[in-house]
Amino acid sequence: MKLLPLIAFCSLYLPAMSQTDSAHQRFLNDQCGRNHLMLSTSHAPAKEKIPPVFSHFEVADFRPDTTRAGFWGMDKQRYEFVFDNGASRHIAGFMNHYADPAGTRPFLIIIKKLWLYNLKDAPRMENRSKGIGCMEFRGEAFLKTDQGYLPYAYLDTVITSPYHVKDVARIKMTNLFFDFIKKIAATDEEQAKKRRTFTFSQLDSLNRLQYNFPMDTARILRKGVYASIDEFRNNQPSISNYDVQTDGTGFQLYLKDETGKSYYSRKMWGFCNGDLCYAMLDGNLCPIFSVGHSFYVFGSTDKEVKAKNNSLGRALLYQYTNGIFYMPSTGPYNMHFYTIDPFSGRIY
């Protein structure tokens, strides 16, 4: 993993992943422009298409990172999708457009996933769908009763489009939430009443169970090489027989065989030096940042990476020494952010 000579640098203090993620958040914000998401009722189906049964909607954002809803990039420019004033308020405002003063059903909507990205940019995905833009969503609706919150309906879907993810956000997202409201309206209430109710505290606790894995709360990052996503998630690298070679501009990572001879392997999922974790993308080690319960990779899928560098297993355009993270303000690669699914290992 050799660092290329860097012409100009910008630097930022970043603590280890085990400490606060506020510096990681600042880094992502500094490196990305903002693409503001809008749910416009003027571009949505008419209110009259929904039965006047809803009194109001409350929205709780249970996503692993509530500050953004995806990334996209073009050349060396990076952007993140964000909601002004937060996703909960924005989505509630849209859904309450379809509430009615005479309605009798108050609902709690829990957003568990809303992520937008371009499929063609995703560096590590199996069974990749056709299309360009993609939006993944999971939302759950609970009827508010005197006994608590009653599970009522849910929508779990992946929407792909031949158009760029910016257009998916502008056109498809409004239809998505309208379809969710329509599905709630069509749900058999008598059938739903057979289910048990929950308090809000119970719903919150159940949601937090999905983040109950070691890396989410790690205070000490274990050094070593990850052979799989499971080892990263559990903060348990299994390969300790490795060699880090530095040349003043960065490091390259090699494994060692039984005789102590160093060799390169693409079977490495990633690496941790005790300060920062890395994921391997196309033979490059790219740093991982944590925000909330999410993990993001800053890397490149630029096809010219291999052509411009003949060394594999290198840290790509980064240096992390003495708590300082350096990133080139100019460089030969198009660097972008991707999210990691800590269970499937997808990077997209």
SS (H, E, C) 53-89: CEEEEEEEECCCCCCCCEEEEECCEEEEEEECCCHHH
Asked whether residue 144 falls in the same domain as residue 200, the answer is yes
Q: Are residues 196 and 311 in the same domain?
A: no
Whether residue 136 has pLDDT greater than 80? yes
Residues 244, 238 contacting (CB under 8 angstroms)? no
**Of 191, 211, 231, at which residue does a domain stop?**
211
196 and 227 assigned to the same domain: no
- Number of neighbours of residue 10 by Cβ within 10 angstroms: 11
Query: Do 103 and 237 reside in the same domain of the chain?
Result: no
What CATH number should be reported for the domain holding residue 185? Answer: 3.40.50
Segment 11-15 mean pLDDT: 35
Does residue 294 surpass a pLDDT of 90?
A: yes
* 200 and 232 share one domain: no
Residue whose entry in the numeric block shows the structure tokens 């999210």: 339
Top-confidence residue, 47 or 310: 47
Task: Work out the average pLDDT over 277-302.
Answer: 87
Instruction: Indicate the residue among 163, 190, 211 that finishes a domain.
Output: 211
Q: Are residues 195 and 162 in the same domain?
A: yes
**pLDDT at res. 43:** 87
Q: Is the pLDDT of residue 301 over 70?
A: no
Q: CA-CA distances (angstroms) from residue 309 to 186, 247, 282?
A: 57, 15, 12
Do 197 and 331 reside in the same domain of the chain? no
Check whether residue 308 and residue 198 sit in a common domain: no
Tell me, yes or no, whether 38 and 61 share the same domain. Answer: yes
Q: What is the pLDDT of residues 139-165, one digit of tens each?
A: 999 999 999 999 999 999 999 999 999
The least confident of 108-117, 252-261, 316-325 is 316-325
Is 186 part of a structural domain of the chain?
A: yes
pTM over 0.75: yes
Phi–psi pair at 295, nearest 5 degrees = -125, 130
- Return the amino acid letter for 29: N
Q: Quick one: pLDDT at residue 2?
A: 32
In 10 A of CB 329, how many CB atoms?
A: 9
The distance of Cα 232 from the centroid of its chain, to the nearest Å, equals: 16
Q: Is 79 a domain residue?
A: yes
Among residues 109, 7, 4, the alpha carbon closest in space to that of 54 is found at 109
Neighbour tally for 251: CB within 10 Å: 22
Residue 158 to residue 272: CA distance in whole angstroms = 32
Q: Does residue 10 have a pLDDT over 90?
A: no
**Has residue 84 got a pLDDT over 50?**
yes
Q: In the chain, how many domains are there?
A: 2
Average pLDDT, integer, range 98-125: 91
Single residue among 167, 194, 211 that ends a domain in this structure: 211
DSSP 69: -
Residue 78 token pair: 């990076």
Residue with tokens 């909601």: 83
The answer to the question of residue 168 being in a domain is yes
Residue 72 lies in a domain: yes
pLDDT for the residue 205: 97
Same domain, 187 and 61: yes
Q: What percent of the chain has pLDDT over 90?
A: 64
On whether residue 348 sits in a domain, the answer given is no
| Range of lowest pLDDT (7-16, 204-213, 324-333) | 7-16
Q: Report if residue 1 sits inside a domain.
A: no
Amino acid identity of residue 333, one-letter, is Y
- For residue 131, pLDDT over 80 is answered with no
340 HSE (CA, 13 A, CB side): 31
The verdict on residue 154 lying in a domain is yes
Q: What is the C-alpha to C-alpha distance for residues 164 and 72, in angstroms, rounded to an integer?
A: 9
- Torsion angle in degrees (nearest 10) through CA of 325, 326, 327, 328: 180
Domain that holds residue 152: 32-211
pLDDT surpasses 90 at 206:
yes
Q: What is the pLDDT of residue 19?
A: 46
Q: Does residue 4 belong to any structural domain of this protein?
A: no
What residues contact 261, with CB distance under 8 A and at least 6 apart?
A: none
Same domain, 142 and 225: no
CB neighbour list of residue 5: distance below 8 Å, 6 or more residues apart: 249
Q: Per this entry, what is the length of the chain?
A: 348
74 contact partners, CB below 8 Å, separation of at least 6: none
- Shared-domain flag, residues 206 and 228: no
Tokens at 54, concatenated? 């809803």
Amino acid 191 reads: Q
Task: Summarize the confidence of residues 277-292 as an average pLDDT.
Answer: 88
